[in-house]
Amino acid sequence: MEDTKMKRVLILDDEEVILKTCRDILEGTELEVVTTTSVQECFNHAAGGDIDLFVTDIMMPELNGVEVIRRLRKSNPSLTVVVITGYPSLDTAREVMRLGAYDYIPKPFTPKEFQNIVFDALGKKDARKVIRETLVLQILDRTADDPDFFDRLYVEGAEALKDYDLSAEAKRAVAQGDVRWIQENVGELTEKQIMVMVTRLGKEIW
C-alpha cells in the first residue's frame, strides 16, 4: 500500500518574518509545516521523532543553530537537515556538511529556491552533488571577481583549488575550463560564469 502520510517539516528561526515567509511558500504543498522561534519548543516538537525535515537558522540569540543540530542528531541521527544562513561561505558549506546537513540556503531566498531545496531534501537527492554544485559555482564567481585568484588558477591549475572539498575530476574541469563537463554535471551557467571559462580558455590558447 502506498504511504500517504503527510511529510512534516519543522522550521526554527528567531525571526518571525522568516517563519511566516517559509509558511507562506509551503502553503498548499501538502506538507505539514511547524514553525517556532523557541529552541525548547523545537526540541519538544522533534522529541516525537516524526519530523521528516528540519530547517534551521544558524545565527540565533538563544542557541546557535549548529548546536541545535548536534543535539537533535543525538536522538535522531537520520534526521534530514537544511540550514538557513545570512552568511553563506565555503566555511559554512563545510560546517553544515560535517554536521550531516543536506544543504544550506542563503538569505534572502526566493520562494522557488526555498521550495526546491525543501523538496530536494525530502526526496533525498544526492547530497554530494548538491554541495559540488554549490562549490563549483562559488569558485566560478570568485574567479570572475578576484583577478589574483584567476591568475593562481591559471598558473597552479587544480592545485589552486586544494581548499575546496571537490573531487579531482571537478577540480580538473574548473581548472581546465571544461564548460561541457561543468554544464553536464553542475548545470547551466550564468553569462558571467561562462565568460570566466571563455577567458580561461583564451589564456590557455595564447
Confidence of residue 149 (pLDDT cuts 50, 70, 90): confident
Per-residue pLDDT tens digits for 88-118: 666 666 666 666 778 888 888 899 899 988 9
Per-residue pLDDT tens digits for 129-138: 656 667 787 8
Question: Right CATH number for 7-125 from 1.10.10.10, 3.40.50.300, 3.20.130.10, 3.40.50.2300?
Answer: 3.40.50.2300
Q: Which long-range contacts (CB under 8 A, 24 or more apart) does 180-188 make?
A: 182/136, 185/132, 186/132, 186/133, 186/136, 186/137, 187/133
- Classify strands 31-36 and 7-12 as parallel, antiparallel or unpaired: parallel
Query: Where in the chain are the domains?
Result: 7-125, 130-205
Which is higher by pLDDT, 186 or 125?
186
Per-residue pLDDT tens digits for 29-59: 889 999 999 999 999 988 877 889 999 988 8
pLDDT of residue 190: 77
